[in-house]
Amino acid sequence: MAEQKETRKHYSFADNWHFYWGIVFKTKPGLIAAIIGIAISETLLNVGTIVLPTLVVQLLTQKSSLPYFATVIISIVVGITVTTVLHGLVDIYGTDRSTAPRMRMANYLNSKIMAIDYQLLENPDTQQLFDAATRNGTGWTLAGGQAFYFGVEGLTRDILTLLVLLITISFFTPLIFVLLVFSGLISYLMLQRYRRWYAANHHTRDELQRKQKYLSQNAYAIENGKDVRLYQMSAWYHQHFEENRQQLNHWQQKQSTTQLVSDLISDFATLVRDGFAYLYLAFQIIAKNITATQLTLFFTTMSQFSQLVSQFIEDLNTLQKASVDLQEVRQFLDLPQSDTTSQLTTAQRNQLKQQPMTIQFDQVTYCYPKATTATIKNLSFKIDAGQKLALVGANGAGKTTITQLMMGLLKPTSGRVLINQVETSALTTEEQFALFAPVFQDSIIMALTLAQNISMSIEPDEKRIWQILKEVGLVELVEKLPQKLSAPMTRYIDSDGIEFSGGQIQKLMLARALYKNAPILILDEPTAALDPIAENEMYRQYAAMTFAKTSLFISHRLSSTRFCDNILYLDHGELHESGTHEELMALHGEYAHVYEVQSKYYQTQDPEQEVAK
């Protein structure tokens, strides 16, 4: 995947500028007016802080009358007060509304991660990119998606005020003006030096923070509490926390050192600038070339200017860093997403309407990203219409990968998958997903109502749900619940949420598959946590309730799938044996050997029992 990282597009500051303001115009165009309002009001306030003491000195030296003196001063103070209030209101508006573009970017990221192919999502580099995009681009107030506004707002204000001050200072001597520009250029170059270092090295920090997040989530996860304590894993967590913390501290030290050197050079340029300015002022005072009013104006202007230059550098750094932090957002949004344009012909659509369905693998090979060997190797088999097929084999044989290829979660590296003789490459992901009702090993219970967990929709058909609950044997349990179908599941959101046992969850997953009513059923070891006898009974229940559907049953326990019409025995992604249970036992091959080894654990089962009903 390193090659993919190298080919990711790098966006210039101008690119990110257009991207950000394009989102602003779609969400909160009023932010433009807010920036202008803040810049004008703050410039007036800065000028007011210069004018007020200068005017006081001038009025005192001219010995103006007390009423006139008071009128002028009160007028200026009132003007400053009104401007301060207006500035505060506009600043609050801008700060509050500047969240909107960041939230829009977060929505873009969330929509994108739902739209990209599962195969791409499963790639660790994609996950890392999404993590960096959300953390640096949208994760907090000063992330790139909002810091961009603060940087532009600050720079607009700084530039406008600095222009006023530069014009004022240039009246004293053009040389001071040149020194001010020169020191500002030095500060800018030092800022650029730090920004380049940050752009080149922030990925290291992101990786360390990702590890820290993983360690924190796993260390404090409730479901891990038993293992951490019983296996005394706390020392392992502490060790990795400490190592990661030291690496983060080392990165922070490099960052601080780089920034310190840049700041020292910038401060030295400022010291030379101010030293010359005040030395020039001292000679002018000695020569009696300036008045007390001019002296006051120069001091207040230089003081304001010095503060503004520092603020300008800080705001420029904020803006350029925000642009850097938007890189991952732009790169993640660049990822290809699932094609939603159907390529099916009318004839193919008619073929797919024929039920039950056939599924065929034709010389299919699949290799996971970064893997050195293929997980599935030149695999060919066929599931006839309405057939119940079992995939069996040891862990790592490639059974789950086959189901993901079949459903369209993964795309073959080579070869073809066909459904009713239609190549799945011609189907959109939605068209392919609609054909399957899977029940996975890791059952997902959402923090929704019981009815919504079965229907996986916001507005379920309750009449249909009650019928399915009766079929799977959960109707009595649900009828006893105070809220029945409206009962909240899990306690993540609702403290009164209900939690099912392992067996009840499996029945709930069957109910979900039945509610979808897709023509093809896939059971990918959903009963792995159950004992062999319970798993066998559950599989038989699944088989009985999905009559006339094409079904795929996966298990590493060979006795659980004896009722299937055909059994494929896999090893390391290759098909070694196929046939009925009796045929495979008669071969005395790998299947028979594994079955005989496992059979001693199933003594309570009747080895001759078959599904004849």
Most confident of 211-215, 222-226, 241-245, 420-424: 420-424
Give the pLDDT score at 533. 67
Angstrom distance (rounded) from CA 526 to CA 552: 12
pLDDT at 2 over 60: no
| Contact (Cβ atoms closer than 8 angstroms) between residue 158 and residue 346 | no
What pLDDT digit, counting tens, does each position of 379-416 carry? 999 999 989 898 988 778 888 899 999 999 899 999 99
Which of 384-388, 464-468, 558-562 shows the lowest mean pLDDT across its residues? 558-562
Average pLDDT over all residues of the chain: 81
551: alpha, beta or left? (left if phi > 0; alpha if psi -120 to 50):
beta
Give CA–CA dist 423/28, Å, rounded: 46
> Per-residue pLDDT averaged across 571-589, rounded?
90
Taking only the tens place, the pLDDT of each residue in 538-558 is 777 777 776 778 988 887 777
Q: Average pLDDT in the 440-469 region?
A: 86
Asked if pLDDT for residue 110 goes beyond 60, the answer is yes
In which band, very low, low, confident or very high, does the pLDDT at 54 lie, cut at 50, 70 and 90? Answer: low
What is the mean pLDDT of the segment spanning 361-374?
A: 89
Report yes or no: 447 and 488 within 8 Å, Cβ to Cβ: yes
Return the pLDDT at 147: 92
Q: Retrieve residue 395's tokens.
A: 């862990």
Domain ranges of the chain: 13-172+311-335, 179-289, 358-443+518-602, 446-499
Q: Which residue type sits at 468?
A: I
CATH annotation of 358-443+518-602: 3.40.50.300
DSSP 448: S
Q: How far apart are the first and last CA of the chain?
A: 52
pLDDT of residue 55: 67
Question: Residue 532: pLDDT above 60?
Answer: yes
One DSSP character per residue, 126-185 reads HHHHHHHIIIIIISSTTSHHHHHHHHHHHHHHHHHHHHHHHHHHHTT-HHHHHHHHHHHH
The confidence score (pLDDT) of residue 58 equals 66
What is the predicted pLDDT for the residue at 180?
A: 67
| pLDDT tier, 606 (very low <50, low <70, confident <90, very high otherwise) | very low
Q: What is the mean pLDDT of residues 181-189?
A: 72
Report percent pLDDT > 90 for the chain. Answer: 20
DSSP 417: E
Note the pLDDT of residue 230. 67
The residues near 55 (Cβ < 8 Å, ≥ 6 apart) are: 72, 73, 76
* Tens digit of each residue's pLDDT (9 = 90 or more) over 22-42: 999 999 999 999 999 998 888
Q: What pLDDT score does 380 carry?
A: 92
Q: Is the pLDDT of residue 586 over 50?
A: yes
pLDDT in tens, 261-279: 877 877 777 777 777 777 7
The pLDDT value recorded for residue 534 is 67
pTM score, whole prediction: 0.70
Which residues are registered as beta bridge partners of 498? 489
What pLDDT does residue 141 have?
Answer: 87
- Measure the CA–CA gap between 262 and 198, rounded to whole angstroms: 13
Provide the pLDDT confidence category of residue 168 given band limits of 50, 70 and 90.
low
Kindly report the length of the chain: 613
CA distance 156 to 164: 13
Q: Residue 492 has what pLDDT?
A: 76
Which pLDDT band, with edges at 50, 70 and 90, does 446 fall under?
Answer: confident
pLDDT, position 607: 42
Report the pLDDT averaged over residues 356-362.
93
Q: Using CA atoms, how far apart are residues 602 and 405, in angstroms rounded to an integer?
A: 32
CA distances, 390 to each of 28, 266, 552, 559 (Å)? 56, 72, 6, 11
pLDDT at site 602: 56
Least-confidence region, from 507-516, 571-580, 599-608: 599-608
